[in-house]
Structure 1
Amino acid sequence: MSDLIPTREEQEGEGEVRYRMLYESDDKVYTRHIRGFFTRVRKYTGLPLLAAFFFIPWLNIEGRQAIHFDLPERKFHILWSTFGPQDGFLLAWLLIIAAFALFAVTTWLGRVWCGFTCPQTVWTMMFMWGERVCQGDRSKRMKLDAAPWSAEKVLRKGGTHAIWLLISLATALAFVGYFYGIRDLVLDLATFDAHPQGVFWTAFFTLATYFNAGFMREQVCKYMCPYARFQSVMYDKDTLAVHYDAERGEVRGPRKKGIDYKAEGMGDCIDCYWCVQVCPVDIDIRDGMQYECINCGLCVDACNSVMDKMGYPRGLIRFTSEDELETGKTNYLRPRLFGYAFILLAMTGLFTQQVVTRSPIEAEVLRDRGARMYREYRGDIQNVYTVKINNMDRAGHEFTIRVEGEEGYDYALRRPREIYLQEGEIYSVPIRVSVPKEQVKQTKHSISIIVQAVDKPELMDRHRTVFIGPKQ
């Protein structure tokens, strides 16, 4: 009894206590293949993502892999830019933007991310395709599983698992290639010269993909994905999701030719169960909104095809809102949706501005904080600073350092004549800034220390600091 929870269901005005399993049974889900509008949309949204995932690692930009997360060197090469650990705030910013985008889209269109672009959904679709190619559609797969083992069954099952393993291996190679370097990884594995960590992670992600998309499938969406658990706080009565129009569909039941079921009070649902048979998470949408539903729209395509055959209007199952089912209208201009959209646009704009204006040269200036805040030398007041230069550009450069400050001060700077830094090199250099003593009119004033590349003047970073003199 520990695996059961009590629920109360109303029947004929009386409450009846029944028990439900905490978790679904482990029965295999046999999905029916269907064609329709949302099936095509899933294809057109999934294929570009797959193409980008598998082929971007093979692209080179300026002689380097287009996207390469070089963890040992702590460099993250993304297209024409290179990021370092100091740019971690950009990653945090990007994740916050993604979270708000998820909130906004969920409030508007429900779990369309899960149904159309979630990697678990996309890879499961590929595995189902391999299953269908080797074993046939739903009824044939059920018969094959029920049949005794034979040469044909071994061949069909073996072909299915071979396709699954090939997809899993390609997935693992592409994913690990973003970190290892895809060309190096493939070459090292082919020549048995790969680093043990590369071999381990390739094998790990191969098996993880194989089991997740091949065997766990809907269990991941139901029990492992946290998104299904907190999506309800983002839904409202105007959220567009897959709904069954019970007022139109009930009372449901099978049909025979020559009988006017409308006159007998029957609804449009013929109880064919196609909406259940095509569902990848094995739910019956006619039972109402359920957290397991991923809004993939396959039940909409299945029901519309049945309605076409029966000569009934489409839309018995459709993307709509609770308000539309009750009142016939959906309110699209909602304050919460506008709030999410405004915050999302503002953060995206600021993030884009930060990335576009980001300089690949970073200078950090630390003033000497010893016992003597300044020194007098030959009639000058001197302050000592340490300038730390980080060349994050994809090429080496020679840098100059100069000082700018308030008018009326003649700044002199003692520094190395040449500072050449290779790509990714960090260099610290002490400098001494001098001002004639008679020009120093206040204890503190601001100055700017500027680091600039000689060959590319646009590569420049300016750091404000304080120049300290004697008390006036």
Structure 2
Amino acid sequence: MTEAAPKVAIVKMYAAREEIYPREVKGWYASWRWVCVWLTQLVFYGLPWLTLNGRQAVLFDLEARKFYIFGVVLWPQDFIYLALLLIICAYSLFLFTAIAGRLWCGYACPQTVYTEIFMWIERKIEGTRSARMRLDKQPMSAEKFFKKSAKHAAWGAVALWTGITFVGYFTPIHKLMGEIASFGLGPWEWFWVLFYGFATYGNAGWMREQVCKYMCPYARFQSSMFDKDTLIITYDKERGDPRGAGSKSGGRANLGDCIDCSMCVQVCPTGIDIRDGLQSDCIGCAACVDACNIVMDKVGSPRGLIRYSTENGMKDKLTVPQIRRRAMRPRVLIYSGILVVILAAFFGSLLTRTPLKVDVIRDRGAMGRELDDGSIENVYRLQIMNTDEAGHRFRIKVSGVDAISLASPDIVELGATASRGVPVQVRVPQGKAQKGSNKIVFEIESMDERHLEVHEKAVFFVPR
């Protein structure tokens, strides 16, 4: 008797994409998704057109190395604020995920937002889910060619405008539009407009759920931030199973509330069946919740067969108030506390920062030199940056050694958000300073705003 040949299992690291045709759904969560779409896009498309003090309100001018964020002007020396902002975003994501799962993914992620916009365009041009499926199965015809061309033209227009807006955050938008109108756009600007536009077109129009499944790392490590009290999209198996079609009076007495209509699958943008349990592909958009609630209303069953709940909530049959109370657990409190501290430090530092920065650079050509009258002279370069929106006149003073004085002009005038290197000659009479290094202090103060001043330490060198 021969042994049976061992079975060979083929494991594919990447599954070929099957076209997903999400059905349109209306409901509470769908409305909130569209609120997020409108809010995020009004901010993104609108901010570059806002002006403040005669300039673009939000502009990241890489060429001039200045970041304008409304009334705040940041320089490369303010990199710490960018680091704090990234930390705030990270902890916010941790906090929201610990409380409500993939809340960001389902409502505010750019991939979700632009996919929602592109699917809306698709429905307006090609029709409902069943109409789109029929259209794709048909051979090429004049009608199909027209609809497909119109859809891709509309997608391309949205994507191109998105690319232009993105570049408008780095090149003044009015200047950018003028260059586009006159075909005078630079090569790098053309590159980023087309690159960002193509990325939007490809991700939201073609790849869609593939980005969430395979490209986004968040789907892979989100489970490490979940626990049994994290809000997730859940299917109530105890209430819904066993599934079956029909009405209660027509032989469904022994069946659950789920009529196996598959509406939850048809509306899912990633094509999963939430009834199989929580999956990494679920983005938490709650489209299945809206769809199931509509079906439950039609068949006369209570809503909430698919709902936001927690693992403990489902197991222990907790009420909504009990689930909310359990949300305030140690992990959430720790994340919240850290986030509050970082936010306080960020805004406190930002609001109290002095719009005057000074760097003292010694002349490396000579440590110190003796003049004809016996006095000692050191040469410095003061890099003065006025980050204020108004110009100022500054007075330079020096102290720390007896009879120390400036041998160069002590008045410097700087325009708004300007930087200037100022050569400064400092002299000390013979015998007034010890040989070697002596600590001195440069004082730079505004002549029109007395509170605007900076003290910078330096070293005065006397040859031995």
Q: In 1, Cα distance between the equivalents of 2:184 and 2:382?
A: 43
Q: Which residue of the partner structure matches residue 172 of structure 1?
A: 163
Aligned-residue offset at 1:256:
3.6
Deviations 1:322-358 (A, max 9, x none): 0101113432221111111111111111011121122
* Structure 1 residue 464, shift from structure 2 partner: 3.3
Q: Secondary structure at the match of 1:243?
A: strand
* Deviates further, 146-155 or 308-317: 146-155
The answer (yes or no) to whether the contact 1:414–1:431 under 8 Å persists in 2 is: yes
1:425 pairs with 2:419: yes
1:357 aligned partner, one-letter code = T
Using the aligned pairs only, state the percent identity. Answer: 44
Q: What is the rounded CA distance, in whole Å, between the counterparts of 1:267 and 1:48 in structure 2?
A: 40
Give the Cα separation in 2 of the matches to 1:106 and 1:293: 13
Unpaired segments of 5 or more residues in structure 1? Answer: 1-15
SS at match of 2:168: helix
Q: TM-score, normalised by structure 2?
A: 0.88
The offset of 1:93, in angstroms, is 1.7
Asked if the contact 1:397–1:420 (Cα under 8 Å) also holds between the matched residues in 2, the reply is: yes
Distance 1:66 1:29 in 2: 41
| Match runs of 1:60-75 below 5 Å | 60-75=51-66
Asked if residue 159 in structure 1 is aligned to residue 150 in structure 2, the reply is: yes
Q: Give the 3-state SS of the residue equivalent to 2:418 in structure 1.
A: coil
SS at match of 2:456: strand
Q: Give the C-alpha shift of residue 428 in structure 1.
A: 3.2
Instruction: Tell me the distance in 2 between the aligned counterparts of 1:233 and 1:446.
Output: 53
Find out whether 1:402 has 2:397 as its counterpart.
yes
Q: Residue type of the partner of 1:222?
A: K
CA contact (8 A) 1:374 1:381 kept: yes
The answer to whether the Cα contact below 8 Å between 1:421 and 1:427 also exists between their aligned partners in 2 is no
Query: Aligned partners of 2:247 and 2:12: how far apart in 1?
Result: 36
Contact 2:396 2:411 in 1 (8 A): no
- Partner of 1:193, secondary structure, is coil
Question: Are 2:37 and 1:46 equivalent residues in the alignment?
Answer: yes
Q: Which residue of 1 aligns with 2:90?
A: 99
Number of the residue aligned with 2:446: 453
Structure 1 position 184, deviation (Å): 1.7
Aligned amino acid, residue 417 of structure 1: D
Partner SS for 2:297: helix
Corresponding residue for 1:283? 272
Shift in alpha-carbon separation, 1:466–1:199, aligned structure 2, 3 A: closer
Contact 1:176 1:202 (8 Å CA) reproduced: yes
Match 1:128 to one of 115, 119, 128 = 119
- Mean Cα deviation higher: 345-354 or 416-425: 416-425
Query: In the alignment, what sits opposite 2:79?
Result: 88
Q: Structure 2 residue aligned with 1:336, among 331, 334, 337?
A: 331
Contact 2:24/2:128 (<8 A) preserved = yes
Deviation per CA, 1:288-324: give whole Å up to 9, x if none. 1111111111111011111111111111111111010
Q: Tell me the residue number matched to 2:457.
A: 464
> 1:111, CA displacement in angstroms?
0.6
Q: Which of the residues 352, 359, 375 maps onto 1:357? A: 352
Structure 1 376/341 Cα, relative in aligned 2: closer, same or farther at 3 Å? farther
Q: 1:261 Cα shift?
A: 2.2
Per-residue deviation, 1:137: 1.4
Change (3 A) 1:189 1:442: closer
Equivalent residue number for residue 386 of structure 2: 391
Amino acid at match of 1:305: I
2-side partners of 1:322 and 1:89: how far apart?
Answer: 40
Residue in structure 2 matched with residue 346 of structure 1 by the alignment: 341
Give the Cα separation in 2 of the matches to 1:355 and 1:448: 25
Amino acid at match of 1:299: C
Q: Is the 8 A contact 1:97 1:348 kept in 2?
A: yes
User: Please, what is the CA RMSD of the aligned residues?
Assistant: 2.8
Q: Is the 8 A contact 1:69 1:178 kept in 2?
A: yes
Q: Secondary structure at the match of 1:106?
A: helix
Distance 1:369-1:152 versus aligned 2 partners, 3 A rule? closer
Match of 1:7 in 2: none
Relative distance call for 1:371 and 1:30 in structure 2 (3 A) is: closer
The offset of 1:160, in angstroms, is: 1.3
Distance 2:177 2:236 in 1: 53
What is the TM-score of this pair, normalised by structure 1?
0.87
- State the secondary structure of the residue aligned to 2:347: helix
Deviates more, 1:102-111 or 1:352-361: 352-361
SS at match of 1:425: strand
1:371 Cα deviation from its structure 2 partner:
8.3
Residues 375 and 383 in structure 1, CA contact (< 8 A), matched pair in contact too: no
Q: Tell me which moved more, 203-212 or 293-302.
A: 203-212
CA 334–374 in structure 1, closer or farther in 2 if over 3 Å, else same: farther
Alpha-carbon offset, residue 383 of structure 1? 6.5
Structure 1 residues 139 and 386: alpha-carbon distance in aligned structure 2, compared to 1, 3 A threshold: same
**Aligned counterparts of 1:196 and 1:443: Cα–Cα separation in 2:** 54
Task: Tell me by how many angstroms 1:221 deviates.
Answer: 0.4
* Secondary structure of residue in 2 paired with 1:179: coil
Deviates most, 358-367 or 370-379: 370-379
Q: 1:377-433 CA distances to partner (integer Å, 9 max, x unpaired)?
A: 979887665433123334443211124569xx6654444133223442221322426
